[in-house]
Amino acid sequence: MKLIRIPEDKYYDYRINAMFDCYKWDPQFYDSNTLAKYVLVLTREENERIVKITENLDIETRLAEEYLNKNIKIAEKLSLPKEIIKQIPNMQNYDKYKNIRLMRYDFHPSIDNNWVVTEVNSDVPGGFAESSLLPDLARKTINSPNLKYNSFGERMVEAINNKLNKKGTIMLIHCTCFSDDRQVMQFIGDRLQKEGYKVIYGAADHIEFKDRQAYCILDNNQHKIDLIFRFTPLEWLIKMRPKTWYGYFNTTTKSCNHPIGIYAQSKRFPFVWDDLEDAGISMKTWRSMLPETIEVKDASKREGFIYKPVYGRVGEKIAIQEACRGDEYKKILQDVKKHQKQYIAQKNFNSKPIKSDDGMEYHICLGSYTIEGNHSGYYARISPYPRIDSYAADLPVLIEN
Q: Which residues bind other proteins (CB under 8 A)?
A: 12, 16-17, 19-20, 24-25, 27-31, 33, 176-179, 182, 200-203, 205-206, 217-221, 316-317, 328, 331-332, 335, 390
Nearer to other proteins by Cβ, of 174 and 254: the residue is 174
DSSP H or E run through 317: none
CA atoms of 353 and 269, how far apart (whole Å): 28
What string of DSSP letters covers 353-373? PEEBTTS-EEEEEEEEEEETT
User: Which H or E run includes 94?
Assistant: none
109 or 153, CB closer to other proteins?
A: 153
Q: Provide CB contacts within 8 A for 177, sequence distance 6+.
A: none
Looking at beta carbons only, is 202 or 270 nearer to other proteins? Answer: 202
Sign of the Cα torsion 157, 159, 162, 168 reads negative
The residue (of 109 and 202) whose beta carbon lies closer to other proteins is 202
How near is the Cβ of 158 to other proteins at its closest, in Å? 25
| Nearest distance, CB of residue 236 and other proteins, angstroms | 14
Following DSSP, what letter does each residue of 156-206 receive, concatenated?
Answer: HHHHHHHHHTT-SEEEEE--TT-HHHHHHHHHHHHHHHHTT-EEEEE-GGG
For residue 200, the minimal CB distance to other proteins (Å) is 6
CA dist., res. 383 & res. 389, Å (int): 8
Q: Of the two residues 186 and 265, which places its CB atom closer to other proteins in the complex?
A: 186
Give the Cα separation of 311 and 275 in Å (integer).
21
In the bound state with other proteins, the residue whose beta carbon lies nearer, of 55 and 208, is 208
* Separation between Cα atoms, residue 26 and residue 128, nearest integer Å: 14
> 52 or 331: whose CB is closer to other proteins?
331
Least separation in angstroms between residue 208's CB and other proteins is 9
Least distance in Å: CB of 335 to other proteins? 6
Partner residues linked to 198 by β-bridges: 169
CB of 211 to other proteins, least distance (A): 20
Nearest distance, CB of residue 146 and other proteins, angstroms: 28
Alpha-carbon span 344 to 48, nearest angstrom = 31
CA trace torsion 373, 379, 385, 389 (10° rounding): -90
Closest contact distance (angstroms) between CB of 254 and other proteins is 20
When the beta carbons of 34 and 144 are compared against other proteins, the nearer one is: 34
**Are 204 and 240 within 8 A, CB to CB?**
yes
Measured from the Cβ of residue 90, the count of other Cβ atoms closer than 10 Å reads: 16
